[in-house]
Amino acid sequence: MKLITRDTDYAIRAICFMAENKEEITSVSELVEKLKIPRQFLRKILQALNKKGVLTSFKGKSGGFKLRRKPQDIFITDLIKVFQGPLKLNKCIFKKKLCSSVDRCILREKIGEIEQRVVSELGLITVASLLNKR
Amino acid sequence: MKLITRDTDYAIRAICFMAENKEEITSVSELVEKLKIPRQFLRKILQALNKKGVLTSFKGKSGGFKLRRKPQDIFITDLIKVFQGPLKLNKCIFKKKLCSSVDRCILREKIGEIEQRVVSELGLITVASLLNKR
DNA sequence: CTAATTGATACTATTTTAGTATCATTTAAA
DNA sequence: TTTAAATGATACTAAAATAGTATCAATTAG
Ligand code: FES
Ligand code: FES
């Protein structure tokens, strides 16, 4: 049961690197060298982050990527959403068929509550908060 | 991001059925008919539950399965563990490499805390609690 | 002009989840 | 005692999600 998949993971690392290393523009080549992430996979990830408005991209020679927002305004949940879709643990497991003859399902309710918790806890974590304590 | 996979789901339904329907022994055939779960898949699931001590099995004609414990003593987390292994959201995503040059990782800590929450919330749900409100 | 870069897109590989098939063994009951 | 209905064990297949690769086109600093 993974809360964070590989692409989200790599995205977090890349963004942390870019946030620390204050050069305005960082290229894939530099990230590959420093973080040892497979090149094409990382490219795909950064392109997605660009499309979703987390990064800005610069084409051509000496191009690369740059954070579009400040580290304290980039939430881990944003990144999870980009790669893993909306943060839902829920998804009406029982298709409303069985687990309640009445029209409410205890298990689903409970999972809904848990989800709220997870979302709100995760919702507090920003890229900046991952860097602070270094 | 699924908190509960299909096999766990089916296990819960089957066990709820067996808990309600107070006949001592329930056969796969009956469950298949009532719950519309694929036969072989359900068999595999019930066999696993038997091995893990949740159910007892009875071989031969008119055999089947029976709850080994009372519904209030069967926790959803037990079932999750049977099919999905230990309840961990954690798994040191960053392999201790990057996200802290100091030797602690904020993200991991946070996820650890969230995990505790999830586990303790889920830990309160029993099969009995799913049936009560009908 | 050209080498270094991103954009777009299609493809492949691996792992996890879901489901099937089959034969052996057990047992209640005709 | 035979037999049909059950589980035990195990190996197999299918589908979906995750992880990663390959390639060519467009852009741009130098
Ligand atoms: S999970 Fe959908 S009705 Fe219970
Ligand atoms: S997740 Fe392992 S060191 Fe941060």
> Angle, nearest 10°, between helix axes B76-84 and B106-122?
130
10 Å CB burial of residue A22 (0-12, 13-18, 19+) is exposed
Going by C-beta distance under 8 Å and a sequence separation of 6 or more, which residues neighbour residue B75? B123, B125, B126, B127
Q: How far apart are CA B18 and CA A73, in angstroms?
A: 51
Q: Give the pLDDT band of residue B106 (cuts 50, 70, 90).
A: low
CATH number 1.10.10.10 given to A6-86+126-132: yes
- Count of CB atoms situated within 10 Å of the CB of A44: 13
Stated as kind and residue range, the H or E segment containing B58 is: strand B55-58
- pLDDT exceeds cutoff 50 at B20: yes
State residue A63's pLDDT score. Answer: 96
Find where tokens 């055939």 sit: B29
Percent of chain A surpassing pLDDT 70: 84
pLDDT tens profile B53-72: 999 999 999 999 999 999 99
State residue A90's pLDDT score. Answer: 57
Structure-block tokens of residue B11: 């296990």
State residue A47's pLDDT score. Answer: 98
State residue A134's pLDDT score. Answer: 45
Which residue, B125, B6, B13, is CA-closest to B75?
B125
Instruction: Using the mean position of ligand 2's atoms as its centre, give its distance from the Cα of residue A27 in Å.
Output: 24
For strand C, is any atom closer than 7 Å to the CB of B44? yes
Residues B13, B37: contact at Cβ < 8 Å? yes
Domain boundaries, chain B: 6-86+126-132
**By a Cβ cutoff of 8 Å, what residues of chain B touch chain A?**
1-4, 9, 12-13, 16, 35, 76, 84, 87-89, 91, 93-94, 98-102, 104, 106-107, 110-111, 113-114, 117-118, 121-122, 124-125, 129-130, 132-134
Q: Which residue is nearest to nucleotide D5 (CA to C1')?
A: B61
Residue B127, helix vs strand vs coil: helix
Residue A2, helix vs strand vs coil: coil
Average pLDDT, chain B: 84
Higher pLDDT, residue A68 or B94:
A68
State residue B119's pLDDT score. Answer: 82
Section B85-96 average pLDDT:
62
Q: How far is CA A38 from its chain centroid?
A: 18
State residue B79's pLDDT score. Answer: 95
State residue A99's pLDDT score. Answer: 42
Lowest mean pLDDT among A33-37, A55-59, B46-50, B117-121: B117-121
Q: How far apart are CA A58 and CA B27, in angstroms?
A: 64
